Amino acid sequence: MDYPLKKLEYDGSVMIRDYAVKDAVTKNENMKVILSDEVMTLTPEDLQTKFVSRPSRIHESKFENGLKYKLIGYNWEPDTIEL
């Protein structure tokens, strides 16, 4: 599952919507977080254990018919490619 992002948070973390995390874990799929030309791969286990923040604030989407979600934070650790 690909999850494109536009920016990092001020502390260098990425915020992922809770329903995307639940979907990837339920389907037992890796999530590829994409930022510019870098990619960070999170396994279902990583999604459940490596989060650094779990805010309780509920957000409401402006573009998806008022879909409500929470944001889960992960440290940005892009994959390295060995040549």
- Of all residues in the chain, the percent with pLDDT exceeding 70 is 98
| The pLDDT value given to residue 5 | 94
Query: Would you say residue 61 lies in a domain?
Result: yes
Query: Taking 60 as the threshold, does the pLDDT of residue 70 lie above it?
Result: yes
Structural domain tally of the chain? 1
User: What pLDDT score was predicted for residue 48?
Assistant: 94
Whole-angstrom Cα distance, residue 7 to residue 5?
A: 6
Please report which confidence band the pLDDT of residue 83 belongs to, taking 50, 70 and 90 as the band edges.
low
* Range of the structural domain that residue 59 is part of: 2-75
Confidence (pTM):
0.85
Question: The dihedral of CA 54, 59, 64, 65: what is its sign?
Answer: positive
pLDDT, average across residues 12-34: 95
Within a domain: 80: no
